[in-house]
Structure 1
Amino acid sequence: MKPHAPSWSIINHRYLMAALAEVHHCLKIYAQQESTTTPPPDLPETLPALEILCRVFKLSPFERQLLLLCAGIELEPEFASLVVTLINRSAPTFQLALAALPQAHWDALTPTAPLRHWRLIYIETGETLVTSSLRIDERILHYLMGVAYLDQKLYGLVTSIVTKVNLPPSHQATVDQIQQLWKQRRSPLYPIINLCGANMSSHEAIAATTCQSLGIRLYSLNAADIPTDVTERETLRILWEREAILSGSALLIDASDTGDHNQQRTLISFLQSFTSMGFVASREPLSLRRRTIVRFDVNRPNADEQEALWQRALGDATSSLNGQLAQIVSQFNLEPEGIQQASDLVLQQTTSSASFSHQLWQTCRQQVRTQLDDLAQRIEPVAKWMDLILPEPQKQTLREIVVSVQQRSQVYQIWGFGNHSQRGLGITTLFAGGSGTGKTMAAEILAQELQLDLYRIDLSSVVSKYIGETEKNLRRIFDAAEAGGVILLFDEADALFGKRSEVKDAHDRHANIEVSYLLQRMESYGGLAILTTNFKHAIDVAFLRRIRFVIPFPFPDVSQRLEIWQRMFPPQTPVADLDFAKLARLNVAGGNIRNIALNAAFLAAAEQQPVQMRHILRAAHSEYAKLEKPLADAEVRGWI
């Protein structure tokens, strides 16, 4: 029976030991313990780690022997004892190497030579350069022994990326283009691939698929973790590029959140001298002066691609949706990874086919929340149509908004209205009215009716005094919201909008740019975006023309206030002798009525009494004081 050929690890170990023995013999000759040289070991058919390392880092014969001298101290006890005999210390020096090893050359230990540039060896502190101790880097020592692992100095900075996501055809086309670009390059340097867009998980999937097809690993690095200090930054670059050579890896730099100008400069400096295979994922295109960078725009999969991804991920369970998959695709604009995760989750949780569609819808909503919860305030809707006291024309417009959201796919995609332009496809809405007139409640009702999440964004906190920062804040919100078509409620629009005045300086021009950017994103947003304002007259008519629905929320008259008061107290709240007609004389909006009723309930609860007119009177005084408004006698005459 023919014996098995030895494994590569055995061949590698034998070759390394033979190479160490050759260097050891050179030391013995120098110590006059031997007089004849030994031939170098025969090179196996499969290259051992030592030879691979010498070739990729272009080590000279002397540099190879010097590296082995440092390795021998760690691997062979006889090495250490002989070095102690020769120089009276446990680690070799450059002085010893120059004297004992053949073909010695001084420049082997310069900072730009391979041994020190690639951090293959380190010089410990000593009196002089040639008498300082030399140590082999631990990652290099293990590599010579055939042990593969990520350099410990890169732990916590880079993370391995593996994808099992099925790419849509448009993303696979990008993968094919990147492969072709890298394979057909004329320069030894690989062009850096700039993946542009807001969809980080798609960037990762495209980069990982590219690397898997080329048989290399992929790691990711957050751009924020690149050191600003020049020396530290250069050390990180060299350590990574050394790792990329040793392990056959590419790097994906996540620059999707580099809003800080210093971070941006640091990233550009890092990339200018970057020489290995790499991707940069960013929202906006990057440009480099001394390095080739090729941009690929990564968009979300289109509706047909998403539907195919859903069908593949759900498998036979797709039939349980009863034809509602098109509605899910229309509402939730998920990336491939999000579709896969949602499918896996709902398949694990759902046992009843009757609840499958509802559970999938709710799971899709959860997918989006993780992206938006840090950027905006999610409001849990509790209001219903019966709670909203508005004139009938306003209620009818709200119902039209519901229909517009529900039938968006039918009109824009099937009927072709969305084929010509993406502008104007968003459902833009303005709620105009004083504080407490029901604007937020109306948004809650829309969210409840459409079974969508409602997020409130205070525009006064989004607007920045720094030029460009407001658009950046808005972009982050819209990019995160696109996945689920959530309802965005931009409160306090007065902070951004206003009568367009004569442009006098750069700040005036930029104020108009900010407004235009918000409206442009609202117009192209795939969901419902609502602006609220207390002062409709303060908004320029040119801006109003770009908003599809404008709903005035009037101050409630006596009859409407009566209806509000009649519905204000829950059935389980004990009340006694309340005269709602008299309460309706209070000249305040619905929000203030709720505050008065709630405060009166607390006052009554403290006395262990039902809510009575006297409790409401005390609460009314408090509310009017808060509003800095006098409570007229006519409003409360005959209450008590």
Structure 2
Amino acid sequence: MQANANNLQIALYWLKAIIDDSLKIRFGRVQNFEINPLRLYDKNSWLAAFMEQYEPNIEEFVVLLLTIAPHLQPHFFNQIIAEHLPEGGDFPEFGGVKGSNHRGILPTGETAQFILAGDDLEKRLEIQRILSSEHWFAQKRILWMEPVREGEPMMSGRLVIDPEIIEQLTIGTVSKPRFSLDFPAEYINTEMDWDDLVLHPNTLRQIHEIENWIKHSDTLLHDWGMKKKIKPGYRALFYGPPGTGKTLTATLLGKQTGKDVFRIDLSRVVSKYIGETEKNLSRLFDKAENKNWILFFDEADALFGKRTDIRDAHDKYANQEVAYLLQRIESYNGLVILASNQRANIDDAFVRRFQTIIHFPMPRPEERCKIWSRTFPPQIRIVQDIDWQHVAARYELTGAGILNVVHYCSVELLASESNLLDLKQLEFAIQREFIKEGKIV
């Protein structure tokens, strides 16, 4: 931590010297200057690791530091300007804007142009290229220039850096994004393993196909040259009754392959206001891009359902939302999983774009028997007259339903200070679950 703090301080001193020299040229105190190489205090720091990973040139690194500086020293730019304009005054050539909460100067594209190019038009255009959407800064979602109002100079947009880059360069770790209006998804994980998940053999085989893609996609696309022939990413549809393991499967895929899984809350994505749904989706996919996250759209029928014939403006914009979503899903370079209760609920235009469609059926008696025998904690003793094969054959429950029964029985035994489960207690718990699900006992 100390080495990284020292390196960041050295980088800020280096940036300040560059800004001072550019201001001296502006006020006629010097004719020109050269940017001296940056010598870091320690090569084993997060800043050094970033530079080694991305290999920015001098101009790119200056732009990066300009964007980072207010996050490290809020008064950074104000202090420099005050040294050169001790009596105050406006200095529009330097660029910069005020934030809604931050009271100091926030750099803009014009700030980067002033410092690195001055009045040299060719150099100013080169800085503009660095801040374009085609540059690796924007492509990798590291930093970008905020759009401006129509009619205003494009380079007057504020420089914005991904908060994750700030965390990476300052504290060395990146926290998972929190559920919010700007990120309508929640991180999901599990303590369970594949052995705890009981699925139909055909379902399990198809799940392992996805696992194989996750492990070998880079080799397929790059080493085997398939990148120019197939689109990046993988799209899967899980369909079947609630409680049959769709969410758990998505979570286990992430756990076994070391990828974060985020479940999308579609109620926060879909908006009744025209254009808002696309904005919500755009923020979500922009955040996920290049992260190798698994995006899990639960109950996807709400957004991915059948498109309608256009009868009014609402139908027109609803279909536009679907079209936009198709585009973003197809361009996403990670795994997208849609979950639905019924395959028929999903629009055919989506179905054609899935690499795999996996059915999660109600578990058969033999699968229910495995779930029953594996789910009760070892502290509970089962009386001999409970035959799991008989119970599994008689009562049709999903894995989630069986887990609910086990949960209820376990709590009741703890409350009665007993660890012996008899058939009467078990059947009462099963009947209770059937009633809760609205089934006839």
Instruction: Quickly name the TM-score band, shorter chain normalised.
Output: 0.5 to 0.7
Structure-2 residue corresponding to 1:512: 319
CA gap 1:478/1:372 in 2 versus in 1, 3 angstroms: farther
Does 2:431 match 1:621? yes
C-alpha distance in structure 1 between counterparts of 2:59 and 2:403, whole Å: 57
SS in 1 for 2:382: coil
> Per-residue displacement from partner, 1:218-250 (whole Å, max 9, x unpaired)?
47xxxxxxxxxxxxxxxxxxxxxx967479954
- Deviation for aligned residue 1:479: 2.1
Q: Select the structure with the greater relative contact order (CA < 8 A; seq sep ≥ 6).
A: 2
SS in 1 for 2:247: helix
CA gap 1:511/1:246 in 2 versus in 1, 3 angstroms: closer
Structure-1 residue corresponding to 2:139: none
CA gap 1:478/1:606 in 2 versus in 1, 3 angstroms: same
Structure-1 residue corresponding to 2:234: 427
Structure-2 residue corresponding to 1:400: 209
C-alpha distance in structure 2 between counterparts of 1:605 and 1:587, whole Å: 26
CA contact (8 A) 2:68 2:166 kept: no
Paired AA for residue 366 in structure 2: S
- Deviation for aligned residue 1:468: 1.6
1:14-163 to structure 2, matched below 5 A, reads none
> Per-residue displacement from partner, 1:502-561 (whole Å, max 9, x unpaired)?
111222122222223233222222322211111111112121111222111011122221
- Deviation for aligned residue 1:488: 1.6
- Deviation for aligned residue 1:622: 2.0
C-alpha distance in structure 1 between counterparts of 2:357 and 2:160, whole Å: 31
Does 2:374 match 1:600? no
Does 2:431 match 1:586? no
Structure-1 residue corresponding to 2:150: 288
> Per-residue displacement from partner, 1:448-484 (whole Å, max 9, x unpaired)?
2102222212223321111222222222222222253
Does 2:333 match 1:471? no
- Deviation for aligned residue 1:294: 4.2
C-alpha distance in structure 2 between counterparts of 1:447 and 1:546, whole Å: 22
Q: 2:256 aligns with which of 432, 440, 449?
A: 449
C-alpha distance in structure 2 between counterparts of 1:455 and 1:403, whole Å: 20
- TM-score, normalised by the number of residues in structure 1: 0.47
Paired AA for residue 515 in structure 1: V
C-alpha distance in structure 2 between counterparts of 1:170 and 1:510, whole Å: 42
CA gap 1:166/1:175 in 2 versus in 1, 3 angstroms: closer
CA contact (8 A) 1:413 1:419 kept: no
C-alpha distance in structure 2 between counterparts of 1:449 and 1:613, whole Å: 37
- Deviation for aligned residue 1:379: 1.6
- Deviation for aligned residue 1:372: 6.5
- Deviation for aligned residue 1:413: 2.2
C-alpha distance in structure 1 between counterparts of 2:160 and 2:229, whole Å: 18
CA gap 1:457/1:519 in 2 versus in 1, 3 angstroms: same
C-alpha distance in structure 1 between counterparts of 2:342 and 2:88, whole Å: 60
CA contact (8 A) 2:67 2:160 kept: no
C-alpha distance in structure 2 between counterparts of 1:244 and 1:393, whole Å: 73
C-alpha distance in structure 1 between counterparts of 2:148 and 2:90, whole Å: 25
> Per-residue displacement from partner, 1:248-290 (whole Å, max 9, x unpaired)?
95425679xxxxxxxxxxxxxxx9xx9x97999878744432x
Does 2:392 match 1:547? no
Structure-2 residue corresponding to 1:527: 334
Q: Over alpha carbons, which structure has the higher Rg?
A: 1
- Deviation for aligned residue 1:498: 1.8
SS in 2 for 1:567: helix
Paired AA for residue 625 in structure 1: I
CA contact (8 A) 1:217 1:249 kept: no
- Deviation for aligned residue 1:375: 4.0
CA gap 1:368/1:480 in 2 versus in 1, 3 angstroms: farther
Structure-2 residue corresponding to 1:412: 221
C-alpha distance in structure 1 between counterparts of 2:431 and 2:388, whole Å: 17
CA gap 1:471/1:612 in 2 versus in 1, 3 angstroms: farther
- Deviation for aligned residue 1:419: 4.1
- Deviation for aligned residue 1:439: 0.5
> Per-residue displacement from partner, 1:68-122 (whole Å, max 9, x unpaired)?
xxxxxxxxxxxxxxxxxxxxxxxxxxxxxxxxxxxxxxxxxxxxxxxxxxxxxxx
Percent same amino acid among aligned pairs? 33
Across the aligned residues of Structure 1 and Structure 2, the Cα RMSD in angstroms comes to 4.3
CA contact (8 A) 1:254 1:282 kept: no
C-alpha distance in structure 1 between counterparts of 2:165 and 2:378, whole Å: 48
CA gap 1:420/1:338 in 2 versus in 1, 3 angstroms: farther
1:49-448 to structure 2, matched below 5 A, reads 166=51, 168=54, 205=65, 207=67, 218=77, 245=90, 250-251=95-96, 285-289=147-151, 291-294=152-155, 340=169, 345=172, 367=174, 369-370=176-177, 375-419=184-228, 424-448=231-255
**Which structure 2 segments of 5+ residues have no match?**
1-25, 28-46, 70-74, 79-86, 101-107, 116-127, 132-142
Paired AA for residue 391 in structure 2: L
C-alpha distance in structure 2 between counterparts of 1:484 and 1:497, whole Å: 23
SS in 2 for 1:496: helix
- Deviation for aligned residue 1:334: 11
SS in 2 for 1:604: helix
C-alpha distance in structure 2 between counterparts of 1:592 and 1:553, whole Å: 15
Query: Between Structure 1 and Structure 2, how many residues are aligned?
Result: 345
- Deviation for aligned residue 1:339: 5.8
CA contact (8 A) 2:233 2:331 kept: yes
CA gap 1:294/1:392 in 2 versus in 1, 3 angstroms: same
Structure-1 residue corresponding to 2:368: 561
Structure-2 residue corresponding to 1:570: 377
Paired AA for residue 603 in structure 1: E
CA gap 1:166/1:542 in 2 versus in 1, 3 angstroms: same
C-alpha distance in structure 1 between counterparts of 2:308 and 2:165, whole Å: 46
C-alpha distance in structure 2 between counterparts of 1:538 and 1:492, whole Å: 10
CA contact (8 A) 1:432 1:553 kept: yes
Paired AA for residue 612 in structure 1: D
C-alpha distance in structure 2 between counterparts of 1:399 and 1:254, whole Å: 49
SS in 2 for 1:456: strand
**Which structure 1 segments of 5+ residues have no match?**
1-51, 54-162, 177-202, 210-215, 220-241, 256-270, 301-332, 346-362, 632-640
CA gap 1:171/1:413 in 2 versus in 1, 3 angstroms: farther
SS in 2 for 1:431: strand
C-alpha distance in structure 2 between counterparts of 1:600 and 1:244, whole Å: 75
Paired AA for residue 590 in structure 1: G
